[in-house]
Amino acid sequence: MIDFLTLAIGTLAGCSLLLPLLQLVKGRDWNLSGYILAAVLASAMVMVAVFTLSPSDLPWFGSLLRGDALGGVFALVTLGVTLMVTLASLETQKGEGNPVYYSLLSFTALGMLLLSYSQDLLMLFVAWELMSLPTYVLAGFDKKLRSNEAAVKYAVIGAMSSAIILYAISLAYGLTGSTQISAVVQGFSRLLAAQSDATALASVAILLFVAGFGFKMSIVPFHMWIPDAYEGAPTTVSTLLAAATKKAGFIAGIRVLLAITTAYVVTQNPAFTMANVFAVLALVTMTVGNVSALTQKSMTRLLAYSSIAQAGYILIGFVAFSADPQSASASIGMTGSVFHVINHALMKGAAFLAAGLVIMQLRRADLGAFDGLGRRMPITAFTLTVALLALAGVPPLSGFWSKLLLFLSVSNAQFGWLALAAILNSAFSLGYYAWIIKRMYIDEADAPGRVKEPLWFVVVFAVAVGLIIGIGLFPQQAINLSSAAAAGILG
């Protein structure tokens, strides 16, 4: 039987290593490397889909990787976003650096693929670095002052988060004698039952994991790098960071943090449980993100803060699960979280690419560039409108259903306040989303006239909008897929 996951990993690894060699070929087409990567990513997605439908043992990786539905969903999401970014880059990246650019994209995709299936903390860290290091270079790929500044800030903060994660892994290994996630969970459970002196050290390790993964998930107060990095990086790279690598941060959080919370509390103080920690982080993250977005004058910064707010919504599922992993609310919450990860990848990917096309064609990033866009770039304006309304949770678009599941999961007496806060935040966000839509369809442009919308962008927009509307009208299949993935968290 063919091991399709191993084949996908090997194909991406080979592509990552061989693409830079295209620079040595004379008379080359600079876009050839992009077409090759797009074909490899599409093939890898097919292989992962086949593997997810018929999972098998992974003889080449032993206990380092485990093929389950949860990993399959996150792998398909991250590879799909990378494919969107690759196709859009065919229009934005022109020049001799193309093979290196696409090789870095391929390495990032490989890291996210490995991260999706990681079952060992050291494997997770290696995959985390394989995903992160190329993005530091990609963030500064334009070689402009703002881009270089973004890359440096991102690299420094990213190195800090990696160091925190590695320190947490070292503590977990010292306390349990293993780097297997399942063994670490069991070891922490024994420490809790024994009430030994090491219990406090285990609590420190858990909080370090929260901080380390929080940087990539853009959870407040670990979000400070997001607006500058997203604004300074090429918009296609910002799309990758917001819609793909951020999701890889969530799969790491689910694999490690949620597994540990099934057997552990931070302290014996009932007010300081992991559920309460996640609840506070969710509330602060969604509120800070939405309030900050309202005051932005740059579209990329507005979308960056909006992305932070969306991370707060995804955390709501963590709250429901941590409060009682065996309850119906936990199942609904984690189904909502996984579903919102899928939706957010589509919504935010489409929004960032639409904004990026406007910036590329009009040479402006301020909100004034979007005045009259509905007449100047109708396809782009429609795509951005659908994406923004879906992000706000307007029915019948896909974002409505995942938000509904998340809000329902904490509608009980214990966390009813969080559900109310999330609903208010969602309504508040509609204000600045509607403001942008009003600019595109009501305000007049400074320089009227149609602007070219490149073919590959139109293709990506059509697929993204089709999925956002299609999932919104027929959500049951996506909900079933998310539910199957969420069921494997305790596996």
Q: What mean pLDDT do residues 59-74 have?
A: 80
Q: Which amino acid is at 409?
A: S
pLDDT tens-place string over residues 430-482: 888 999 999 888 888 777 778 888 888 899 999 999 999 999 999 999 999 88
**pLDDT tens digits, 290-322:** 999 888 888 888 988 998 999 999 999 988 888
The pLDDT of residue 210: 84
Among 58-62, 181-185, 330-334, 342-346, which is the least confidently predicted range?
Answer: 58-62
Q: Which pLDDT does position 271 carry in this prediction?
A: 60
218-258 pLDDT, tens per residue?
A: 888 887 778 888 887 888 888 888 888 888 888 888 888 77
Q: What is the pLDDT of residue 388?
A: 93
Residue ranges covered by each domain of the chain: 275-491
Contact 387, 469 (CB under 8 A): no
pLDDT beyond 70 at 57 = no
In Å, what is the CA distance from 305 to each residue of 242, 258, 360, 414, 452? 10, 25, 21, 28, 29
Q: Which residues contact 384 (CB under 8 A, 6 or more apart)?
A: 350, 351, 354, 355, 370, 373, 436, 440
More confident residue, 115 or 216: 115
pLDDT, average across residues 367-394: 89
Q: Which range, of 144-153, 179-188, 329-338, averages the lowest pLDDT? A: 144-153
pLDDT, position 491: 47
Predicted pLDDT at 489: 72
Closest CA to 253 of 309, 329, 321: 321
Please determine, for residue 203, whether its predicted confidence score (pLDDT) is greater than 90.
Answer: no
Q: Which of 42-46, 270-274, 308-312, 367-371 shows the lowest per-residue confidence on average (mean pLDDT)?
A: 270-274
In this prediction, residue 1 carries a pLDDT of 44
Element (H or E) spanning 348, and its range?
helix 328-362
For residue 405, pLDDT over 80 is answered with yes
Predicted structure pTM score = 0.90
Would you say residue 39 has pLDDT above 50? Answer: yes
For helices 398-409 and 378-392, give the axis angle rounded to 10 degrees: 10
Residue listed under structure tokens 């490989």 = 110
Q: Are the C-beta atoms of residues 176 and 184 closer than 8 Å to each other?
A: yes
pLDDT greater than 80 at residue 260: no
Tell me how far apart the alpha carbons of residues 3 and 186 are, in angstroms, rounded to a whole number.
Answer: 30
pLDDT at 186: 81
